[in-house]
Amino acid sequence: AQSVTQLDSHVSVSEGTPVLLRCNYSSSYSPSLFWYVQHPNKGLQLLLKYTSAATLVKGINGFEAEFKKSETSFHLTKPSAHMSDAAEYFCVVSEAGGSEKLVFGKGTKLTVNP
């Protein structure tokens, strides 16, 4: 069965510095991988997705992630953090075939300090 591990439950950065949110996955088959963001009292929003095309995926708001099969990783990065990036981020995996259900990680809370 597929699963994801988000290596940090909390990440704190200063505004204008780089962001790195780490995610490792486990999947028996070719996975699709996603990052979702959840702002306080808001619904989950898709940031970006990997579905076996280019390994470097660009998303909204300047975020990107790189699929590394050899490391089973899908880390989320952003060159320069903005105050509005403060939120909870979820790494998500889905396997091809069947119901293609999404399996969420436990989340990483990003704090951006002025």
Work out whether strand 102-104 and strand 73-78 pair parallel, antiparallel, or are unpaired. unpaired
Helix (H, G, I), strand (E, B), or coil: what is residue 66? strand
- Compute the least distance from the CB of residue 49 to other proteins, in Å: 7
- Compute the least distance from the CB of residue 98 to other proteins, in Å: 8
Q: Is the dihedral of CA 78, 79, 85, 88 positive or negative?
A: positive
Residues in the site for other proteins, rule: CB under 8 A?
32, 34, 41-46, 49, 51, 90, 92, 94, 96, 98-107
> Between residues 50 and 73, which has the closer beta carbon with respect to other proteins?
50
